[in-house]
Structures are given as structure tokens and as C-alpha cells.
Amino acid sequence: MSLFISTAHAAAAPAPAGGGMEMIIMLAVFGLVFYFMIYRPQAKRMKDHKSLMSALSKGDEVLTQGGIVGKIVKVSDEKDFIVVSITEGTEVTVQKAAINAVLPKGTMKSL
């Protein structure tokens, strides 16, 4: 035995492999985390946006995704388009899906 060389020992037997139950529990926990943190909030946002789009009516003041604020002049039920009046004499046709929010009445006058 040398002072600078350590003695080599045989490695212990490998630990037995874990059962499949731990893996199933871990996958179930990941599934629950995915559902409650990702899928459920996104589904709620989609449901809220669909109800917003179906409730659009003539005279509502809206904000589009592009940042345009205007008043709805015409709503087409068979097509998914609405006509938004930005100023007197200026109208823009946009998709219903492009509406981001319905603003309270009188918002355009206060801007």
C-alpha cells in the first residue's frame, strides 16, 4: 500500500429499479399542473372572447387589436365582419375576432 495511492474497492450492487407506480403518479401530477396552469385559463379566455364577439352591437365603442378606437356602425351576422367608424366620415371594416375590448359609452369623446 502506497501512501499516495488509495485502495480500490468493488462497487456495491446497483439499487433495484423503482416500480412503475411512481412514474404513473408523476405523470398524473404533470397532467394536473398542465390542465390547471395552461389549458383551463386559455379555454376561459377563448370562451370570454367568443361571448364578447357575439354580444357586439351597433353603437358600441370598441378597441381593436391594432389599437384603433371606434364606434360600430354595422354588424354583419352572416359574415364575421363589422364596420367601425373612427371619425366622422372615416369607416374601417374589421373582423369580429380583431375586437379586443368593448369600451364604456362616451370613451371616444373623452379621448
pLDDT at 15: 63
Tens-digit pLDDT profile for residues 50-85 = 999 889 999 999 999 999 999 999 998 788 899 999
Helix, strand or coil, per DSSP, at residue 30: helix
Q: Are 70 and 62 in contact (CB under 8 A)?
A: yes
Residues in a beta bridge with 70: 62
Q: Are 101 and 62 in contact (CB under 8 A)?
A: yes
**Mean predicted confidence (pLDDT) in 26-49:** 95
Per-residue pLDDT for 17 more than 80?
Answer: no
**pLDDT grade for 32, boundaries at 50, 70 and 90:** very high
Q: How far is CA 80 from the centre of its chain?
A: 21
**pLDDT grade for 33, boundaries at 50, 70 and 90:** very high
Average pLDDT, the chain: 88
State the Cα–Cα distance between residues 93 and 83, nearest whole angstrom: 4
pLDDT at 41: 96
**Alpha-carbon separation of residue 108 from 78, 83, 91 (angstroms):** 28, 16, 15
Helix, strand or coil, per DSSP, at residue 83: strand
State the Cα–Cα distance between residues 40 and 33, nearest whole angstrom: 10
**pLDDT grade for 91, boundaries at 50, 70 and 90:** very high
Cell 485502495 belongs to which residue?
Answer: 7
